[in-house]
């Protein structure tokens, strides 16, 4: 697995990232999670993405339990977590409405809880999960800068921020933001045109791409775009040693010049292995555009 640095001030990461959004879907034990993390390491996937809200605030605790079973396992990984989304749930039944909160006080409190649940004294990357419409950027930056200064996070970044939102927050950072984690895949290529990926390329910041398989929609043959993609992928598969649609979809993201890091969201080991193989696929230019055309149902402008 190729390794790359997110930014000059960011951590070195594996080219593909293991995402834990659906970690608890299969009701894994701590031993199951531990085995999955070891399998990731064997594949060279050492960067683990999680978030405070995942599993309605339960994933971090379960992930921490899996890490605790193997002394030294945490030190072989780069842990990414996020905070800033708060919803009503059994954990916090007093909440009335889903909302965002990226104030200094809230980010610090959330990060300290994450450290406790994960069983570590720092995370390698801490992201503001969504832009908070009611908090000034200098307030959010003050929280991130304080956590950086205290060594509780090694780098800071954002998720789901527009180019202008990224730029505003970055202007207050003592250490530049290291990434913008965004939704980017064949069925949502918007970041190519909306300035998000251009900004990352300009700043030398590698984006992270969540939901690279469009939440599974890419495999739904009843979806016209997915059906066209299946035909296009089959027509070019032989040029890439029999690569599957899934592998070609990862390769399509990896080929963009901003060098996004796709976040793998599966709980199945065979799909982890398959995804890891996409790191070696170098799409020909015409095939990259052929996949874009199949997804969009039209020729390039």
14: tokens are: 């594996």
Q: Pick the closest to residue 100 from 126, 134, 50, 140 (CA basis).
A: 134
Cα–Cα distance between 172 and 150 in angstroms, integer?
17
Cα–Cα distance between 163 and 131 in angstroms, integer?
12
Cα–Cα distance between 272 and 36 in angstroms, integer?
10
Indicate which residue of 18, 54, 240, 250 is catalytic.
54
Q: Pick the closest to residue 254 from 208, 187, 296 (CA basis).
A: 208
Is 147 in contact with 153 (CB distance < 8 Å)?
Answer: yes
Q: Pick the closest to residue 144 from 84, 85, 203 (CA basis).
A: 84
Phi, psi at residue 20, to the nearest 5°? -110, 15
**DSSP-derived 3-state class of residue 91:** coil
**Unique residue bearing structure tokens 């996937």:** 45
Q: Pick the closest to residue 122 from 132, 111, 131 (CA basis).
A: 111
State in Å, rounded, how far the first CA of the chain is from the last one.
35
Cα–Cα distance between 24 and 60 in angstroms, integer?
10
57 is catalytic: no
Based on C-alpha coordinates, what's the Rg of the chain?
A: 19
DSSP-assigned letters across all residues of 55-83:
HHHTHHHHHHHHHHTSTTSGGGSEEEEEE
Is 242 in contact with 248 (CB distance < 8 Å)?
Answer: no
Q: Please list the active-site residues.
A: 54
């Amino acid at each position: 697995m190729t390794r790359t640095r997110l930014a000059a001030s960011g951590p070195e990461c594996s080219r593909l990232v293991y995402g834990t959004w659906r970690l608890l879907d299969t009701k894994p034990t701590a031993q199951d999670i531990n085995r999955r993390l070891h399998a990731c390491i064997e594949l060279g996937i050492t960067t683990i993405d999680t978030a405070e809200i995942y599993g309605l605030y339960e994933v971090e605790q379960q992930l921490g339990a899996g890490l605790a079973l193997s002394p030294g396992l945490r030190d072989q990984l780069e842990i990414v977590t996020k905070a800033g989304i708060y919803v009503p749930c059994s954990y916090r039944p007093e909440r009335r409405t889903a909302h965002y909160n990226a104030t200094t006080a809230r980010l610090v409190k959330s990060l300290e809880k994450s450290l406790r649940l994960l069983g570590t004294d720092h995370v390698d990357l801490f992201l503001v999960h969504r832009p908070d419409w009611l908090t000034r950027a200098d307030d959010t930056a003050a929280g991130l800068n304080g956590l950086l200064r205290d060594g509780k996070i090694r780098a800071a970044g954002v998720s789901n921020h527009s180019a202008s939102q990224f730029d505003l927050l970055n202007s207050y950072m003592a250490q530049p933001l290291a990434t913008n984690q965004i939704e980017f895949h064949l069925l949502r290529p918007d970041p190519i045109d909306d300035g998000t990926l251009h900004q990352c390329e300009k700043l030398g910041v590698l984006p992270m791409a969540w939901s690279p398989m469009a939440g599974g929609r890419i495999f739904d043959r009843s979806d016209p775009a997915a059906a066209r993609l299946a035909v296009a992928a089959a027509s070019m598969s032989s040029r890439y040693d029999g690569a599957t649609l899934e592998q070609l979809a990862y390769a399509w993201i990896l080929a963009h010049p901003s060098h996004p890091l796709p976040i793998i969201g599966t709980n199945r080991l065979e799909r982890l292995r398959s995804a890891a193989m996409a790191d070696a696929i170098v799409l020909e230019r015409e095939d990259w555009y052929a996949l874009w055309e199949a997804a969009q149902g039209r020729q390039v402008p």
